[in-house]
Amino acid sequence: MTDETTDKGEGKGSTGNNRLVVLCCAAFVSTMVGVSFAAVPLYQLFCQVTGYAGTTQRADAGGDVVLDKEITVRFDANLGGHLPWSFKPDQNSVKVKIGAMETVYYRVRNLADHDVTATATFNVTPGRAGLFFSKIACFCFTEQTLKAGEELQMGVTFYVDPAIVDDKEAKYVDTITLSYTFFPVKGSETPLAAAPRPQSASDGS
């Protein structure tokens, strides 16, 4: 009887331990799922705060201080995913006073014989400069649908934060490159939203 009782007790203990292990595993999995969902916004926040990977800053208006010092901003245009568009900046570069607001334009044209929807990503180099490159209006991450042969002019409004001259790394930067890459969007027939200040090239503005 003693042996049987002991065996039953050990069985109950083993079952309890198994349940504890299962609960711990479930809690671990739930935690990891939560972390994975939070990873993207946390990474985006990290990039915005640090300027890592050339992430720019967002602003609602221009700065209050304009320095008597100029910096060159270059504009780059690229296409990915075999997108049948032409894409280029209206001007390759501008010299702007640090702190002064500036608006430049990019131009896209659909070379296909059917509607095409695409969206643009961006990057700033050198990466550290992204912490001080503030965009007020931009067409990035906004889906654009162009009809066959349609051409569109899209504006980018920005300024370079005067704080760049006090940064131990970025203060030596004399040229910033703003680069956009358009990629096709699959399964999307209409744009999610209009880009800031889009104008048809035929408008002449």
Residue with the bigger pLDDT between 36 and 51: it is 51
Q: Are residues 45 and 113 in the same domain?
A: no
Q: Are residues 90 and 166 in the same domain?
A: yes
Q: Are residues 105 and 156 in the same domain?
A: yes
Mean pLDDT lowest among 33-37, 48-52, 77-81: 33-37
* CATH number of the domain that residue 185 is part of: 2.60.370.10
Q: How many distinct structural domains can be found in the chain?
A: 2
Residue 194 DSSP label = P
Distance (Å, whole) CA 182 – CA 89:
13
Q: For all residues of the chain together, what is the average pLDDT?
A: 76
> pTM here?
0.64
Q: Are residues 91 and 177 in the same domain?
A: yes
Share of the chain above pLDDT 70, in %: 60
Q: Are residues 24 and 63 in the same domain?
A: no
Tokens of 115: 């509607």
Write the pLDDT tens digit of every residue in 177-199. Answer: 999 999 999 764 444 333 444 44
Distance (Å, whole) CA 170 – CA 56:
14
Q: Are residues 99 and 124 in the same domain?
A: yes
Per DSSP (E only), the strands in 40-185 are: 57-58, 70-79, 85-89, 93-97, 102-110, 116-125, 133-137, 144-146, 151-160, 175-184
Q: Are residues 63 and 33 in the same domain?
A: no
- What is the reported pLDDT for 43? 38
Highest mean pLDDT of the ranges 1-10, 17-26, 63-72: 63-72
The residue range of the domain holding 35 is 1-50
Distance (Å, whole) CA 18 – CA 133:
55
Residue type, 112: A
pLDDT at residue 91 tops 60: yes
